[in-house]
Amino acid sequence: MGGSTVQAASSSSSILSQSTVASQKNGAKEVAVIDTNNTDIGNVDVSQLTVKPIAPTTIAGAAVLIDADTGEILFEKNPDKWMHPASTTKMVTLLTALEKKGTRLDELATVSPYAVSMEESNLGLRVGDQLPLEAVIEGMMVASGNDAAVVVAENVSGSVHNFAKAMNEVAKKAGAKHSHFLNPHGLTQQGHYSTARDLAMIAAYGMKYKMFRDKVANDYYTVKYQNRAAETVRTTNLFIRNKYPGANGLKTGYTEAAGDCLIASATRDRHTMIVVLLNDDDRWTDAPAFLDYGFEVAALRDK
């Protein structure tokens, strides 16, 4: 914005102590604040103004933007409202499996009839299939396989019921206060809910660990079975497929009750931003807009 000037109209009312000047920078909306009590606003040097990005708006039922490094919430809309999380639940399933199994992901997992009975979306597992637990986890995260999520739960904790207990423990450890998980896949179930703030907290907690980061960022994965030919699956996450600069996760979700959901993460210039969008028909355009806003805020702080 250099040394250009801007004309700002003053007000005769003493109530108005500030005027704002809107500007455009790299396509992002910004506002500069002028103290009209202490400034001659007839001819203001714009280069001396403090420019603050304006947060985007969203039609989402609930949304949170978090700086994963500091834990600061940069934007919130209905952050503590109970919402159906749909398949964003699988992020909690992943974190729980990693917390319980650690690096022992090469153990063979067996597919049960119950796992195969799950509603779509599914990885296409068959009863009796055996494959490394890591491959099941990858299939759950990349293809959003509900069948894979059940296999993870059964092979880590013995049953979905026991695994759900572990999910709630891990969620609380990550800072969640208003969530209750009953299944590992996110299919609609009474009493299974979370909030935008809780999901943001859990995502930020998980992104501190390399193994978690590795599992939420994949575009493709080839599932190798013990008893049949390998199959390659592609992510359901258009945020990753569209290659937003710095994109490194996380998880999509959809059910009729939940609507379109997305947790999106990106890292730039040593800053990681995570946005949670629940029941948002505009999730693919909202996510980049909010992340751009977060990085603009971080850049100003770094100056």
Q: Which residues participate in catalysis according to the annotation?
A: 87, 90, 144
Is-contact 189 178, C-beta < 8 A?
no
The Cα 284–Cα 173 span in angstroms is 30
Closest CA relative to residue 37, chosen from 65, 55, 13: 13
